[in-house]
Amino acid sequence: MAETQSAYTDYRYDSTPHAFRTIWQNEGIRGFYKGLGTSFIGISHAAVQFPLYERLKLWLHTDEPGTHRSTNILLASGMSKMCASIVVRTRLQNQSRFPYKYRGIFHAIRTIYLEEGWTAFYKGMPTNLLRTVPTSAITFLTYELLIRRLNAMANAP
């Protein structure tokens, strides 16, 4: 079953302003920075996704140099996004009660592993992948098709 916001919090947000008020009233300034460290580490997911995408794109190339079929681009981008996804950041960001259960990235990883086992790191993964992989695939495909079209226009007589 997919995890929801209510799985880790005692309140739901009706709107963005309501979320800001609720976080401020219940958690103070610290509530706005939960999971910041993992978000910074999450940036490194691009360091996995983009090089892996380029490598997969090369492995899935067509016979013509410099060309890639749309299905291969979608496949390469989807696979690279799946490999780059992680769940720990979500757990840290969704904590609502102070003192927080997880004191940091490594504490969260250790606690999740000890309490729930290694499969806990994959909870919500199908839902996350259903949300992020198609978006990533369409983004990469649009980029590749746009670059191909612009290059063709630049090289046209």
DSSP collapsed to 3 states, 59-128? HCCCCCCCCCCHHHHHHHHHHHHHHHCCCHHHHHHCCCCCCCCCCCHHHHHHHHHHHHCHHHHHCCHHHH
As to burial, measured by CB atoms within 10 angstroms (0-12 exposed, 13-18 middle, 19+ buried), residue 146 is: exposed
For residue 142 the two structure tokens come to: 């649009």
Does residue 4 lie within any of the structural domains?
no
Looking at the predicted structure, is the pLDDT value of residue 6 above 80? no
Looking at the predicted structure, is the pLDDT value of residue 62 above 60? no
How many domains does one find in the chain? 1
Identify which has the larger pLDDT, 102 or 139: 139
For residue 10 the two structure tokens come to: 């005692």
Does residue 155 lie within any of the structural domains?
no
Q: Do 79 and 137 form a contact (C-beta atoms < 8 A)?
A: no
Does residue 87 lie within any of the structural domains?
yes
CA distances in angstroms from 128 to 19, 87, 134, listed in the order given: 22, 9, 11
Identify which has the larger pLDDT, 57 or 100: 57
Tell me the three state secondary structure of residue 37: helix
Does residue 153 lie within any of the structural domains?
no
18: domain range?
Answer: 11-147
Q: What is the CATH number of the domain that holds 69?
A: 1.50.40.10
For residue 42 the two structure tokens come to: 């999450």
Q: How many whole angstroms separate alpha carbon 131 and alpha carbon 82?
A: 11
Looking at the predicted structure, is the pLDDT value of residue 57 above 70? yes
Mean pLDDT of 74-91: 74
Looking at the predicted structure, is the pLDDT value of residue 125 above 90? no
User: How much is the pLDDT for 98?
Assistant: 65
Does residue 46 lie within any of the structural domains?
yes
User: How much is the pLDDT for 107?
Assistant: 83
Q: Do 114 and 80 form a contact (C-beta atoms < 8 A)?
A: no
Q: How many whole angstroms separate alpha carbon 98 and alpha carbon 112?
A: 18
